[in-house]
């Protein structure tokens, strides 16, 4: 019961379509602009830096709350026995984190079409493996600085995640496998970006927005 309650609560939390709502508040359906994605990168491209940063932060907070807060609340509400609480919370945190990412990627509010889960996954990793997250953020910054491709940075960082959990975090085999699943899901959600990178049609981030950028 604890796992079902945590997964349901975390999924609903993760499924809040922040980027879509941000654009809707400005009278824009972001699904028809830029890449059509509701995530922070497309919001940055279409609505500008402040909106993109805000969506990035809110999406990350969704993942963190699903891991760090939801399990504690579920344990308290369901009256879990004290001797089981520590072990239970660990697994509930993992359950909540994965459910939040799935909620973001496949939000029920938009017919199961959502974002790519990078920001929400980052929030989950803050709660689960913060040192490994710092390592892959550094990797993302280097790749992005060299290429200006957000998607390429995200792909390389995602691929590196389970290795950083092993090398930097000294995580357990379970955590390596869990983050491996998160990594595979993130890469899968970027399959369109992979095709565009291979064909040379992927958009780079431009520091100075041009009028035509919002339509690319």
Instruction: Return the pLDDT at 82.
Output: 53
User: Are 80 and 133 part of one and the same domain?
Assistant: no
Domain that holds residue 145: 129-206
Same structural domain, 110 and 145: no
* Residue-level pLDDT at 216: 34
Q: Is residue 201 part of a domain?
A: yes
In degrees, rounded to 5, the angle at the alpha carbon of residue 113 between the alpha carbons of residues 122 and 184 is: 45
Torsion angle of alpha carbons 173, 177, 180, 185, nearest 10°?
Answer: -160
Cα–Cα distance between 33 and 52 in angstroms, integer? 14
Residue that is last in its domain, among 85, 116, 147: 116
Looking at the structure of the chain, the number of domains it has is 2
pLDDT, tens digit, for every residue of 47-104?
Answer: 999 999 999 999 999 999 999 887 777 777 766 555 556 677 788 899 999 999 999 9
**DSSP 8-state assignment for residue 112:** T
Give pLDDT, residue 214: 41
Residues of the chain under the 50 pLDDT cut: 210-216
pTM: 0.87
Taking the CA atoms of the chain, what radius of gyration do you get in angstroms?
A: 18
How many angstroms separate the CA atoms of 50 and 56, rounded? 10
Q: Report residue 88 as tokens.
A: 């239970």
């Amino acid at each position: 019961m604890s796992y079902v309650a945590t997964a349901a609560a975390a999924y609903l939390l993760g499924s809040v379509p922040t980027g879509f709502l941000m654009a809707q508040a400005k009278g824009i359906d972001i699904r028809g602009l830029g890449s059509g994605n509701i995530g922070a990168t497309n919001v940055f491209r279409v609505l500008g830096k402040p909106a993109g940063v805000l969506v990035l932060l809110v999406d990350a907070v969704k993942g963190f709350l699903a891991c760090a807060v939801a399990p504690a609340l579920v344990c308290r509400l369901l009256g879990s026995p004290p001797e089981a609480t520590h072990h239970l919370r660990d697994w509930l945190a993992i359950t909540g984190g994965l459910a939040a990412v799935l909620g973001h990627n496949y939000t029920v509010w938009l017919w199961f079409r959502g974002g790519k889960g990078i920001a929400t996954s980052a929030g989950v990793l803050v709660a689960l493996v913060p040192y490994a997250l710092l390592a892959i953020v550094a990797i993302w910054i280097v790749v992005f600085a060299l290429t200006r491709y957000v998607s390429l940075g995200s792909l390389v960082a995602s691929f590196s995640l389970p290795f950083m959990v092993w090398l930097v975090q000294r995580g357990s085999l379970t955590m390596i496998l869990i983050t491996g699943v998160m990594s595979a899901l993130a890469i899968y959600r970027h399959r369109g970006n992979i095709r565009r990178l291979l064909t040379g049609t992927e958009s780079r981030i431009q520091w100075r927005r041009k009028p035509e950028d919002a339509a690319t």
